[in-house]
Amino acid sequence: MLRFVVRRLALLVPILVGLSILLFLWVRALPGGPAEALLGERATPEAVERVQRLYGLDRPWYEQYLRWVGNVLRGDLGVSTRTQHPVLEELLRTFPATVELALTAMIFAVGVGVPLGYFAARRHGTWLDHASVAGSLFGITIPVFFLGYMLKFAFAEKLGILPTAGRQDPLMDAEHPTGFYVLDGLVTGNPEAALDALAHLILPGIALGTIPLAIVVRITRASVLDVLHEDYVRTAEAKGLRPATIRGRHVLRNALLPVVTIVGLQVGLLLGGAVLTETVFAFPGFGKFMADSITARDYAVLQGFILFTAVIFVLVNLLVDIAYGLIDPRVRTA
C-alpha cells in the first residue's frame, strides 16, 4: 500500500507544475492586466508603465512565473487589491466556511443517495425504482439558485424554522478560534453556538447537495444492478451465505468503486464551485469571495484561490485513488 501511495504522490508533481503554468498564463491573458486593476481610474499609460516596472511585470513571463512560484512556496500569495489584505489571510478566513458547507452537502448527498440507490436497485422495476430515477432527473435539472430561493421561501419565510442567511446569528456571543463554526462551538463548550451554526448550514447544504445527491443515486443504482448479476454473487447465494453477508461483502463493497469516484469529483467541485449557493444565502465563503474578486479584477486573489482549488482537486483525486486501493486490493497491484 505504501508503494501505491508513493507512486500516486510522484504523479502529483508534474500535474501541479502544469496547472500552475496554465493558471499563470491564463491570468496574464485576461483583459486589463494586473497593473490596470491595481491603478483603477488612475491607469494612465505612464502610471501603468511605472507599476509594471515596480512589480516586475515588464519582465519576460518565465521570469515572472519563477518569481511567483518562489513566493507561493514561501506562503506568499500576494496582496488583494480589493481588501488590501494578504491573499493567504483571506483564504484562511473564507475557506473554513466553504468546507463546512461542502461537507454538509456531501453528508446529505451520500447519506441519502447511497441507501436510496441501493434499495432502488434491489427493488428494480417497482415504484421505488421509478421514483428514484424521476427524482434524480429532477435534482440534476433544477437550478441551484432557484432551489435555494424555494427552500428559503418554504422553511424560512413560511415556516420560520430555519435561518435564511449568514453562518451564525449576529447576536450570538461565540468565539471562533478555528473558523469552523460548528467545531468552534463544541471546542469552546458552547453547544448553543454549534447548533445555531448547524442550523445555518441546513438550507444551503441541501441546495448545494441536491445535484450530487441525484448523481450518487443514479450511479449507485446502476452499479448495484451490474454487481447483482455477477457470477460471484450467484455463487455466494448458491453456497447458502446469509443475505446480509452477500449484500455487504459482495454487492455493496464491489459497487462502491464508481460511487467513490463520483463522490471524490463532487467534493472537489463543491469546494471550488459553491458560488451560487453562497450568494443566494449570503454565506461568506470561498466561492462568494472569489466571485467578488472576479468582478473587481483582483488578480492576486484569482491566482491564489484558483491554484488552491486546483491543489484541492488533486489531493481529493489522490484520496480517491487510496480509497480504491482499500476497497479493491486488485487496484494496488495493477
Name residues whose C-beta falls within 8 Å of residue 63's C-beta, 6 or more positions apart in sequence: 56
Domain of 177: which CATH number? 1.10.3720.10
133 and 228: one domain?
yes
111 and 39: one domain?
no
How confident is the model over 170-193, as a mean pLDDT? 83
Residue 327 covered by a domain: yes
How confident is the model over 57-65, as a mean pLDDT? 76
327 and 297: one domain?
yes
Distance CA 302, CA 322 (A): 30
Tens digit of pLDDT for each residue in 254-277? 777 788 878 877 777 777 657 788
18 and 164: one domain?
no
194 and 283: one domain?
yes
34 and 150: one domain?
no
14 and 141: one domain?
no
Give the pTM: 0.78
Sheet strands (E) in the chain? none
Residue 85 covered by a domain: no
Please count the structural domains in the chain: 2
Tens digit of pLDDT for each residue in 294-321? 777 777 788 888 888 888 878 877 777 7
Distance CA 226, CA 220 (A): 10
Q: Which CA distances in Å does 100 have to 58, 238, 269, 283?
A: 41, 46, 14, 11
Tens digit of pLDDT for each residue in 136-153? 888 888 888 888 888 888
Tens digit of pLDDT for each residue in 73-111? 888 887 777 777 888 888 888 888 888 888 899 899 889
26 lies in which domain range?
A: 2-73
Tens digit of pLDDT for each residue in 147-174? 888 888 888 788 878 888 888 887 777 7
237 and 281: one domain?
yes
With a cut of 80, say whether residue 333 has pLDDT above it. no
Residue 121 covered by a domain: yes
Of the pLDDT bands very low, low, confident and very high (cuts 50, 70, 90), residue 66 is confident
Q: Return the pLDDT at 33.
A: 63
With a cut of 70, say whether residue 40 has pLDDT above it. no
Q: Return the pLDDT at 306.
A: 81
Q: Which CA distances in Å does 86 have to 181, 215, 280, 287?
A: 22, 38, 27, 17
Residue 82 covered by a domain: no
Q: Return the pLDDT at 18.
A: 83
Domain boundary among 18, 41, 73: 73
Residue 154 covered by a domain: yes
Domain boundary among 18, 38, 73: 73
